[in-house]
């Protein structure tokens, strides 16, 4: 699920529908998923450069600098061959206190001036030549600068700060109208309001495209959705009426009527209060309608970028080129003797024997496995020309998941594996087979892997539909 | 009998000017109405937003 090409198709299809008053914004942490990445020209940098090219093609208006965007250093962002990339950050400075990125920008849409700024969240590891200032130091000055803008300006903040800090910002600086968040602990987060500020964000890793449609009124205040609230109250009244009728019926039939009278009285009081609230809200909604639109209104959508969605051919060309670049970069696999000790330990192939050895005794199980998706995992990558991609490989080969540490993309040992490990083989689920193959009686294999072994690859990020109890039955081999 | 010819001539001379003034005023009024309608019926601002893409370009398999 997800992908730049599907995202691009969605955006373009909406432009074709005539929606030309648009802003394309990304709140940050666009390029990398780790605070530190490999030095030199690696896969991650090639991928980052491609993403920037795709965003340029999509005419992004602003992209907040997230702490992970700084993983390859500021110079990478400045020197990458994508000129004029719309990075924004109000709180990233060099050691002399000079801003390293544009601090804010503005555009006028539908007669409303829109100012966009961004705040970069703190990180444990940041390049030595930069400093990230706290929001309470930079925001007052920045908002002061924005006073030169018309009074009814709409201010958008792109933020990679934690959600709690964004709420504090909203309480302290009500002039900010919208915060597009990038909190790593939040998923699709429907718009919520604190004070005068609206917040929202999407799921990570580009699986969803967030869309917010704003109808500007005369004032920079979010309109409370009176109609929606009215509908909720009317539903509640309906439910109260039903309860009352039921109780009244029971009271008529019952011998001891007094046992119902208290409940009936309580519900009647509730009904009276609710009816008064509904009357008053109905008048408010009618007045609002008569007066016309005064406050800003919004609607939102999160579009899931599903596998079966169409792709944008122009972006597909870029991604194909990226695959070729990665292939070129990794085409010369390292000879097994050249692996560093650390790499060997990370990959933990030393105790693996490969499916050919398992097949010698477990023929029926091998045949069953051959029909499974696990057996075809590597072929899937070959078909998509991603078999040199170090981000994809770990979950498409046989690894010692019982002992290995989480993989890193430095791990080039994956590029020189024997063919019997180029699939999610028997040992991925049952554990390394070296000792068992030498002495089957003494060393037993794990018959049924624990959920945590499966979750090494079937993570929420990669497999939304993974339910251990169902999937384990599907993949369980034939009994001996 | 009153001589209307001079008056007629004057009217004919004036008519195009009046007409022009009338057209200009009408156009101005219409354009004002049209601007007002446009302001209230302006299409909404659409914001496409995303976050934490984290280097993901497309699904692996």
DSSP-assigned letters across all residues of A315-349: HHHHHHHHHHHHHHHHSSPPPGGG--HHHHHHH--
Residue percentage of chain A with pLDDT more than 70: 92
- Chain B CB contacts of A45 under 8 Å are none
d(CA A136, CA A468): 46
Which residue is listed with tokens 């009527």?
A257
Sorted by sequence, the CB contacts under 8 Å of residue A367 that are 6+ apart come out as none
pLDDT at A463: 82
B16 in contact with chain A, both atoms CB, cutoff 8 A: no
In this predicted model, which residue has the larger pLDDT, A60 or B59? A60
Residue B8 — very low, low, confident or very high, per pLDDT cuts 50/70/90? low
Choose the weakest-confidence range: A181-190, A233-242, A442-451, B9-18. Answer: B9-18
Residue of A nearest to B56 (CA): A205
What is the mean predicted confidence (pLDDT) over B35-54?
Answer: 75
User: Are the beta carbons of B51 and A29 separated by less than 8 Å?
Assistant: yes
Question: Average pLDDT of A279-308?
Answer: 84
Query: Taking CB atoms and an 8 Å limit, are A20 and B43 in contact across chains?
Result: yes
Per-residue pLDDT tens over the stretch A9-59:
999 888 766 566 899 999 999 999 988 887 777 899 999 999 999 999 999
Query: Contact A396/B61, CB-based, under 8 Å?
Result: yes
Please give the average per-residue pLDDT across A307-316, as a whole number: 93
Residue A350 has a pLDDT of: 78
Instruction: Go through A372-394 and write b for each residue having 16 or more CB atoms within 10 A of its CB, e for each that does not.
Output: eebbbbbebbeebebbbbbbbbb
Write down the mean pLDDT value for chain A: 88
The mean-pLDDT minimum among A293-297, A389-393, A406-410 falls in A406-410
β-strands A62-64, A22-26 pairing: parallel
pLDDT tens string A212-244: 999 998 888 898 767 778 888 888 999 899 988
Q: pLDDT tens for residues A143-163? A: 999 999 998 899 999 999 999
pLDDT tens digit string along A348-401? Answer: 567 899 999 999 999 999 999 999 999 999 999 999 889 999 889 989 999 888
Predicted pLDDT of residue A192: 93
Say whether A26 and B40 touch across the interface (CB within 8 A).
no
Is residue A85's pLDDT more than 60?
yes
Closest residue on chain A to B41 (Cα): A215
Distance CA A388, CA A327 (A): 5
Please give the Cα distance from A124 to A35 (Å, whole number). 8
Q: Are strands A178-181 and A197-201 parallel, antiparallel or unpaired?
A: parallel
Q: Which of residues 216-275 of A touch B (CB under 8 A)?
A: 216
Q: Mapping DSSP to helix (H, G, I), strand (E, B) and coil, where does residue A150 land?
A: coil
Q: Is A199 on the interface with B (CB under 8 A)?
A: no
- Report yes or no: B41 at the A interface, CB cutoff 8 Å: no
Segment A114-129 shows an average pLDDT of 91
Prediction pTM value: 0.77
Pick A150 or B18 by higher pLDDT. Answer: A150
Length of chain B: 61
pLDDT of residue A223: 81
Distance CA A170, CA A370 (A): 56
Please answer whether residues B54 and A33 qualify as being in contact, where contact means their C-beta atoms are separated by less than 8 angstroms: yes
In this prediction, residue A133 has a pLDDT band, given cuts at 50, 70 and 90, of very high
Which band of pLDDT confidence, cut at 50, 70 and 90, is reported for residue A170?
Answer: very high
* Res B43 pLDDT > 90: no
Contact B46 A19 (CB under 8 A): yes
Q: Which chain A residue shows the shortest CA-CA distance from B42?
A: A110
- Of A61 and A400, more confident: A61
pLDDT of residue A23: 95
């Amino acid at each position: 699920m997800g992908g730049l090409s599907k995202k691009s198709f969605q955006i373009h299809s909406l432009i074709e529908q005539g929606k030309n008053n648009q802003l394309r914004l990304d709140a940050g942490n666009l390029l990398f998923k780790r605070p530190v990445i490999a030095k030199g020209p690696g896969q991650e940098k090639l991928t980052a450069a491609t993403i920037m090219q795709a965003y340029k093609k999509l005419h992004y208006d602003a992209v907040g600098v997230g702490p992970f965007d700084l993983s390859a250093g500021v110079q990478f962002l400045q020197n990458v061959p994508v000129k004029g990339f719309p990075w924004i950050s109000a709180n990233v400075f060099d050691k002399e206190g000079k801003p390293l990125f544009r601090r804010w920008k503005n555009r006028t849409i539908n007669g409303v001036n829109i100012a966009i700024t961004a705040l970069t969240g703190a990180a444990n590891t940041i390049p030595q030549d930069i400093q990230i200032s706290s929001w309470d130091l930079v925001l007052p000055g920045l908002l002061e600068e924005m006073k030169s803008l018309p009074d009814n300006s709409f201010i958008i903040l792109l933020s990679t700060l934690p959600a709690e800090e964004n709420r504090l910002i909203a309480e302290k600086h009500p002039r900010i109208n919208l915060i597009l968040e990038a909190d790593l602990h939040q998923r699709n987060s429907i718009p919520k309001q604190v004070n005068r500020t609206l917040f929202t964000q999407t799921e990570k890793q580009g699986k969803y495209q967030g869309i917010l449609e704003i109808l500007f009124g005369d004032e920079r205040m979010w309109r409370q959705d009176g109609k929606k609230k009215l509908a909720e109250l009317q539903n509640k009244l309906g439910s109260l009426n039903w309860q009352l009728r039921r109780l009244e019926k029971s009271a008529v039939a019952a011998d001891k009527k007094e046992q119902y009278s208290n409940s009936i009285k309580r519900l009647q009081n509730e009904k009276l209060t609710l009816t008064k609230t509904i009357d008053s809200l109905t008048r408010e909604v009618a007045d609002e309608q008569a007066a016309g639109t005064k406050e800003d209104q919004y609607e939102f959508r999160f579009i899931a970028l599903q596998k079966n969605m169409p792709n944008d051919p122009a972006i597909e060309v870029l991604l194909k080129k990226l695959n070729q670049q990665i292939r070129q970069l990794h085409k010369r696999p390292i000879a097994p003797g050249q692996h560093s000790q650390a790499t060997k330990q990370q990959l933990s192939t030393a105790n693996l024997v490969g499916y050919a050895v398992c097949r010698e005794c477990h023929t029926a199980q091998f045949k069953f496995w051959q029909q499974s998706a696990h057996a075809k995992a590597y072929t899937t990558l070959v078909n998509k020309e991603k078999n040199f991609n170090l981000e994809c490989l770990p979950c498409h080969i046989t690894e010692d998941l019982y002992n290995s540490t989480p993989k890193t993309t430095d791990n080039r040992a994956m590029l020189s594996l024997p063919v019997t490990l180029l699939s999610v083989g028997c040992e991925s689920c049952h554990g390394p087979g070296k000792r068992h193959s030498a002495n089957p009686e003494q060393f037993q294999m794990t018959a049924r892997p624990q959920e945590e072994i499966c979750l090494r690859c079937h993570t929420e990020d990669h497999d939304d539909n993974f339910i251990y109890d169902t999937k384990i039955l599907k993949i369980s081999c034939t009994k001996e | 009998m009153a001589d209307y010819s001079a008056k007629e001539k004057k009217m004919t001379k004036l008519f195009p000017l009046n007409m022009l003034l009338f057209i200009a005023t009408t156009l101005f009024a219409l354009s004002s109405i049209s601007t007002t309608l446009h302001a209230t019926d302006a299409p909404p601002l659409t914001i496409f937003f995303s976050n934490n893409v984290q280097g993901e370009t497309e699904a692996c398999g």
